[in-house]
Structure 1
Amino acid sequence: MSFEPIWGAPIAWYLFLAGLGGGAFVTSAFLRWRHPEAVNMRKAGHIIAPVVVMIGLVLLMIDAEAGLHHPLRFALLLHNPFSVMTWGVVFLAAFMVIALVVLLLDFLKKRVPAWLEVAGVVFAVCVAMYTGALLGVCKTFPLWNNALLPILFLVSAMSAGAASVLLVGALRFAGEFEVVGLLKKAHYCLPLVEIVLVAALCFITSYNSTAGFDSVMGLVCGSWAPLFWLGLVIVGLVAPTAVETWLLFFAPKEFEESSKARMVSVGVDACVLVGGFLLRYLVVMAALPVVFVM
């Protein structure tokens, strides 16, 4: 008989930070493509990406005590090419190398080659999706073992990464923040997609098994309901979408370009980051296993 691993808050932080790092790198690449004038915001994304992923990896090692005391044991994960964890190690290692090289080039004030940034984007997307696939291999947890989870985590990672870069831009680089309108509009769409994916994940999971139904009930009307509705849905998804709708489409032009509008955007982006973490935390903590009766 085999037992699935039971994960807690440190893993939720790891999943969030890994996705955030990938999203921040993709956001920097997007700025290079559509807003090349936002140089400082792009560099901020290049700093955020490797730093937060590195913090996430440290948390992973702390949670996996054997790896903490014997870090070289993580190399053993590379022996199985059919393992999701093996591919996760490959994706993370490649992404970290590229992200650190890009960061070094920024500090040396050298131009980052386009091919290197494209490679970084590919591995950033792989890392973001891997965080969902890592949970998905635990087949006895219906809330995790769902094909929508990697897609949901990818969209959430892109949203959190964009929010982190926009947050830095609003606080430090006001001039650049005002001209990245296309990034703001792209970021505005992501929580809308997340709302649909969260609803679909809950609907599908609730119908696939008793454990899945109980997991979803725990989220929507059980012990996790206050955190789910108030934290994830209201603070993390609905409120940012509502405020951004007003800022982008209904706010007077003079207010949209004011310092007050930037502070409102800071609050919105902070809420998105809170929602990004709570999504992982709730998915990890609320999942119930299938019970086999002998």
Structure 2
Amino acid sequence: MNNMWGSTAQFDAIYWPWPIAIYLFLAGLSAGSIMVALLVKWNKHEDNANSIWDAMVKAGAIIGPVTICLGLLLLIIDLGKPLSFYWLLITYNITSVMSIGVIFLLAYTPFAFLFAMMIFEKEIEQYKIFAVLRPLTKFIRSFAKISKNIEYILFVLAICVAMYTGFLLGAIEKIPLWNTPILPILFLVSGFSSGIAANILIGMLFFKGSLNKDSIKYLLVLDLRAILFEIPLLIILFLGLYLGGAKEFANLALSDTFYGTVFWIGVVFVGLFLPVLIAATALKNHAYKPLYIVINSLVVLVGVIILRYYVVYGGQALI
């Protein structure tokens, strides 16, 4: 049995182990990072010819394709027969959530790479390390006239990928925590929040030369709103369990010695309370100190990982 954060031998069988939880996190992170990069590009620097050089845009352009590939690699490995993965790419059932998700991923992934190459076109031509990609620069330029349309399509696909992770779990009807219409929205919002945190973190660490304080302020406000939106979503999630005939499960999910602690300390305190406190303080005092912002980003990412772990493992272990 695959374990995560200690032994799960005391619980019922875990059929969807830790690679699934990490995959769900990485897919949401990828989609969120792309959405954040596009929003910064559109809303903060649309009239600026150098908008693509904003650190938050470049960070999202890197995080998006890299994390979705890592997530898919984990998913393939977890299948147990990774060499048979290609069957998912050539056989489809439009009534299957997994097949629909594969279609979204097949469309989203190349668009994410195309967006990254459009953002880093000058670096591809300038640095030897990217020499293997140089033949593609002419191909990339051919999309220049329709770049905005590509961005719109990519944004919609990112939303679909982020929500699909919730629908994927929701297809399992016997698990109350998964089989709820709120979960796709919760995963979309938390994925968006993780994308903000990751873009800020990578942007500040690796693209200091193009760092824009206005972009950081813009993203801190967005992150604060996203996290505040997560709170009622979690409340609605558990109210739905209470009113939908899963009252005992809801009580156990909130009070279990292990998973209850994971929820209240990991999801609520670390993932919600601390980021709100740090972001609100920074916005109120205009104290955009790098250390505090980096800590805020790390706390948000940890909180989102814990949320995915809680949903995936707690949903299976507590039934």
Q: Same fold (TM over 0.5)?
A: yes
2:206 is equivalent to residue 192 of structure 1: no
2:109 is equivalent to residue 96 of structure 1: yes
Match of 1:226 in 2: 261
Match of 2:126 in 1: none
Deviation at 1:214, TM superposition (A): 2.1
Larger mean Cα displacement after TM superposition, 131-140 or 198-207: 198-207
1:290 & 1:9 partners in 2: Cα distance?
16
1:148 & 1:83 partners in 2: Cα distance?
19
Q: Which amino acid aligns with 1:104?
A: M
Structure 2: where are the runs of 5+ without partners?
A: 1-13, 46-50, 123-140
The Cα offsets for residues 186-220 of structure 1, whole Å up to 9 and x where unpaired, read as: 1111111111111221221133234x632552344
Q: Which amino acid aligns with 1:65?
A: G
Deviation at 1:264, TM superposition (A): 0.4
Q: Which amino acid aligns with 1:281?
A: Y
Contact 1:24 1:158 in 2 (8 A): yes
2:83 is equivalent to residue 69 of structure 1: yes
Match of 1:29 in 2: 38
1:208-287 aligned within 5 A: 208-210=244-246, 213-249=248-284, 251=285, 253=286, 256-257=287-288, 261-287=289-315
Larger mean Cα displacement after TM superposition, 126-135 or 223-232: 223-232
CA RMSD of aligned residues (A): 2.2
Match of 2:48 in 1: none
Q: Which amino acid aligns with 2:223?
A: H
Contact 1:99 1:120 in 2 (8 A): yes
Match of 1:143 in 2: 177
Match of 1:84 in 2: 97
User: Which SS does the other structure have where 2:257 is aligned?
Assistant: coil
Match of 1:53 in 2: 68
Larger mean Cα displacement after TM superposition, 117-126 or 101-110: 101-110
1:216 & 1:101 partners in 2: Cα distance?
46
Larger mean Cα displacement after TM superposition, 264-273 or 281-290: 281-290
1:204 corresponds, among 229, 240, 264, to 240
Deviation at 1:183, TM superposition (A): 2.3
Q: Which amino acid aligns with 1:231?
A: G
The 1:290–1:157 alpha-carbon spacing in structure 2 relative to 1, beyond 3 Å, is closer
Deviation at 1:280, TM superposition (A): 1.0
Deviation at 1:130, TM superposition (A): 0.2
2:213 corresponds, among 178, 183, 186, to 178
Deviation at 1:119, TM superposition (A): 0.6
Deviation at 1:35, TM superposition (A): 2.0
User: Which SS does the other structure have where 2:211 is aligned?
Assistant: helix
Structure 2 length normalisation: TM-score? Answer: 0.81
The Cα offsets for residues 158-177 of structure 1, whole Å up to 9 and x where unpaired, read as: 11111110112233445624
Q: Which amino acid aligns with 1:146?
A: T
Larger mean Cα displacement after TM superposition, 233-242 or 30-39: 30-39
Contact 2:197 2:298 in 1 (8 A): yes
User: Which SS does the other structure have where 1:138 is aligned?
Assistant: coil
2:193 corresponds, among 144, 156, 159, to 159
1:290 & 1:277 partners in 2: Cα distance?
19
1:164 & 1:13 partners in 2: Cα distance?
15
